[in-house]
Amino acid sequence: MDFTKITNKQVKFLQSLKLKKYRQKYNKYTIEGIKLVKELLVDVPDYLDYCIVSDAFAKEHQHFLENTDVSILVATGKQMEMMSSMKNSTGIMALGSMHTDFSLGAFAQKGRYLFLEHAQDPGNMGTMIRTAAWFGLDGVLIGEGSTEIWNQKVIQSSMGAIFKIKHKVISFEELSQASIPIIVTSLQGESLHAFTWPSDFILCLGNEGKGITNGLLSRADHNVFIESSNNKGAESLNVASSASILLYQAQVSSTT
């Protein structure tokens, strides 16, 4: 099977998607990483416009590429480096569209959600989205002012979870209108060991450095604190680690 050679126009277009303003302008984004892109080619090919590979990658993985329904474009190694957001291109990337399939509709009445307030670190955001998907949450709510969810680093650190869990950017006003319990974390909260989780909730996690805002603290129905039994000098937990602990505890609580 012969693959199509990429054009200079396509190279420039894909190169432009490194910038947020062009991702938003065209509603397109790129995905990189051998394991991630190959999984998406198998699991959700309809979400991909086309796949781009280096000529060397095409030769090495020809059998796999020939058995996908997604169009394959071949580029030179130099072109791949130009288009890649990574320090060193892995030789494969894909173009995706911001499909409405991932959009979360109404959330105010029922369900379990994770809300990320002013989350700035794309690695943390991707990890928390992955954690939310792992624990089977109904959706991830992204607070205004947070890192863009289609940032390449968010996609990579989520390991494809953004294609498996609904998500939505919402304002503080929208969140405030929710009728299900809003749970926040702070040092002044109730011990997590003693906390009884409601069946429906919105778990809120704040900015990596500043934590939850005062506005959200005052709106919260519950405030919890992860206690350390043997703190050896660590000032605080990483926010993504906190998300894992809290959601695990919520799952344990729902099964006991």
Q: What is the 3-state secondary structure (H, E, C) of 98-134?
A: CCHHHECCCCCCCCEEEEECCCCCHHHHHHHHHHHHH
How far is it, in rounded angstroms, from Cα 112 to Cα 200?
5
pLDDT recorded at residue 236: 72
Domain boundaries, the chain: 4-98, 102-254
29: left (phi over 0), alpha (psi -120 to 50) or beta: beta
How far is it, in rounded angstroms, from Cα 63 to Cα 66?
5
Residue for token pair 């995905």: 31
pLDDT recorded at residue 252: 83
Residue 225, exposed/middle/buried by CB under 10 A (0-12, 13-18, 19+)? middle
Contacts of 114 (CB under 8 A, 6+ apart): 128, 131, 132, 137, 139, 140, 141, 202, 203, 205, 243, 247
How far is it, in rounded angstroms, from Cα 130 to Cα 158?
5
pLDDT recorded at residue 228: 76
Residue 160 CB neighbour total at 10 angstroms: 21
pLDDT recorded at residue 52: 97
Residue for token pair 């288009």: 83
Spell out the CATH class of 102-254: alpha beta
The domain over range 4-98 is classified in CATH as 3.30.1330.30:
yes
As beta bridge partners, residue 50 has 95
pLDDT recorded at residue 107: 64
> H helices within the chain, ranges in order?
8-16, 20-26, 34-43, 55-60, 62-66, 77-83, 122-134, 152-158, 172-176, 214-219, 239-254
The stretches in the chain having pLDDT less than 50 are none
The token pair that represents 56 in the structure block = 């060397």
Residue 132, exposed/middle/buried by CB under 10 A (0-12, 13-18, 19+)? buried
Percent of the chain with pLDDT over 70: 92
Beta strand pairing call for 28-32 and 92-97: antiparallel
Whats the size of the chain, residue-wise?
256
